[in-house]
Structure 1
Amino acid sequence: MPSVFRPCIDLHNGAVKQIVGGTLDTSSLRTNFVSEKPSAYYADLYRQNALRGGHVIKLGPGNDDAARSALQAWPKGLQVGGGINESNAQEWLDAGAEKVIVTSYLFPAAKFDEDRLRRLAEQVGKDRLVVDVSCRRRGDKWIVAMDRWQVMTDMEVNAESLALLTQYCSEFLIHAADVEGLCQGIDEALVEKLGEWVTIPTTYAGGARSVTDLSLVERLSHGKVDLTYGSALDIFGGEQVRFDELCEYNRRAEGRA
Structure 2
Amino acid sequence: MTKFRPCIDLHQGKVKQIVGGTLRDDGPGPKENFVASAGAGEFAEMFRRDGLTGGHVIKLGPGNEDAAKEALSAWSGGLQIGGGIHAGNAAEWLAAGASRVIVTSWLFDGARFSEDRVRELVDTIGADRLIIDLSCRRTASGWTVAMDRWQTLTDLDVTPATLDRLAPWCDEFLIHAADVEGLCGGIDGELVEMLGAWAGRPVTYAGGAASLADVEKVQSLSGGKVDVTVGSALDIFGGKGVRYDELVAWNRR
Q: After superposition, what is the alpha-carbon deviation per residue over 1:122-179, rounded to whole angstroms, capped at 9, x for unaligned? A: 2111111000000000135000000000000000000111111101000000000000
Map 1:109-148 to 2 at 5 A: 109-139=110-140, 141-148=142-149
* Residues 204-243 of structure 1 mapped to structure 2, 5 A cutoff: 204-243=205-244
Deviation sequence 1:232-251 (CA, Å, 0-9, x none): 00000001110000000100
Q: CA deviation at 1:213?
A: 1.5
Extract unaligned runs of 5+ from structure 1.
253-257
1:151 counterpart = 2:152: yes
**Partners of 1:31 and 1:128 in 2: how far apart?**
31
Provide the aligned C-alpha RMSD in A: 0.9
Q: What is the deviation of 1:219?
A: 1.0
User: Which letter does structure 1 place at the counterpart of 2:77?
Assistant: K
Matched, 1:5 2:18: no
What's the % identity of the aligned pairs? 60
Does structure 2 retain, via aligned residues, the 8 Å contact 1:163–1:198? no
Instruction: Specify the code of the residue in structure 2 equivalent to 1:18.
Output: Q
Mapped contact 2:111–2:154 kept (Cα < 8 A):
yes
Residue 172 of structure 2 corresponds to 171
| Corresponding letter in the other structure for 2:18 | I
SS at match of 2:10: strand
Could you give the per-residue CA deviations for residues 188-220 of structure 1, whole angstroms, max 9, x where no partner exists? 000001112231111000000011212211110
1-side partners of 2:43 and 2:67: how far apart? Answer: 11
Q: TM-score, with normalisation over the residues of structure 2? A: 0.98
Q: In 1, Cα distance between the equivalents of 2:210 and 2:141?
A: 24
Question: What are the residue-to-residue correspondences of 1:193-208 with 2, within 5 Å?
Answer: 193-208=194-209
Residue identity matched to 2:6: P
Whole-angstrom CA distance in 1 between matches of 2:179 and 2:73 = 32
Contact persistence 1:192–1:221 (CA under 8 A): yes
Q: How many residues end up aligned between the 2 structures?
A: 251
Name the structure 1 match of 2:100: 99
Could you tell me which residue of structure 2 aligns to residue 255 of structure 1? none
**2:82 equivalent in structure 1:** 81
| In 1: Cα distance, 2:203 partner to 2:215 partner | 14
TM-score normalised by structure 1 residue count: 0.96
Alpha-carbon distance in 2 for matches of 1:140, 1:125: 32
Partner of 2:23: 24
